[in-house]
Amino acid sequence: MNEEEAFIKIKDGIRLEKALDVSQYKENYIKRRIAVRMRSLQFTKYDGYFIYLQNHRSEYDILLDKLTINVTQFFRDPEIFVELENTILPDILRNIKWPLKVWSAGCSTGEEPYSIAISIEETAEKMGIMNYGFEIYATDLDIIAIQKAAAGIYEGRTLDNIAQDRKTRYFFTDDGKNFSVKESIRQKVKIIKLNLMEPYKKNFFDVVFCRNVIIYFTRELQRTVLGHYYDSLKENGILFLGKTETMLQDFRDRFNCINIKERIFRKI
Residues 212 and 238 in one domain: yes
Q: What is the pTM of this model?
A: 0.81
Tell me the pLDDT tens digit for each residue of 69-78: 666 799 999 9
> Does residue 55 sit in the same domain as residue 107?
no
Q: Are residues 125 and 233 in the same domain?
A: yes
pLDDT for the residue numbered 30? 86
Q: What per-residue confidence (pLDDT) applies to 201?
A: 95
Q: What is the residue type of 167?
A: K
The count of domains in the chain is 2
Q: Is residue 73 part of a domain?
A: no
Q: Rounded to 5 degrees, what angle do the CA atoms 262, 77, 184 make?
A: 110
pLDDT at 70 (0 to 100)? 60
Distance CA 99, CA 92 (A): 11
- pLDDT at position 249 is 94
Q: Are residues 190 and 107 in the same domain?
A: yes
Final residue of a domain: which of 40, 67, 94? Answer: 67
Residue 107 included in any domain: yes
Q: What is the pLDDT of residue 238?
A: 98
Amino acid at 267: K
| 33 and 83 together in one domain | no
pLDDT confidence of residue 253: 95
Cβ count within 10 A of residue 129? 13
The predicted pLDDT at position 62 comes to 84
Domain range enclosing 62: 3-67
Longest Cα–Cα distance of the chain, Å, equals 67
d(CA 117, CA 113): 6
**What pLDDT is recorded for position 254?**
97
What is the domain-level CATH number for residue 133? 3.40.50.150
Q: CA-to-CA distance for 228 and 230, rounded, in angstroms?
A: 5
Tell me, yes or no, whether 99 and 166 share the same domain: yes
- Which residues fall within 8 angstroms of residue 252, CB to CB, at 6 or more apart? none
Q: Is 244 a member of any domain?
A: yes
pLDDT attached to residue 252: 93
| Low-confidence stretches of the chain (pLDDT beneath 50) | none
Same domain, 33 and 94: no
Query: Could you tell me if residue 45 is inside a domain?
Result: yes
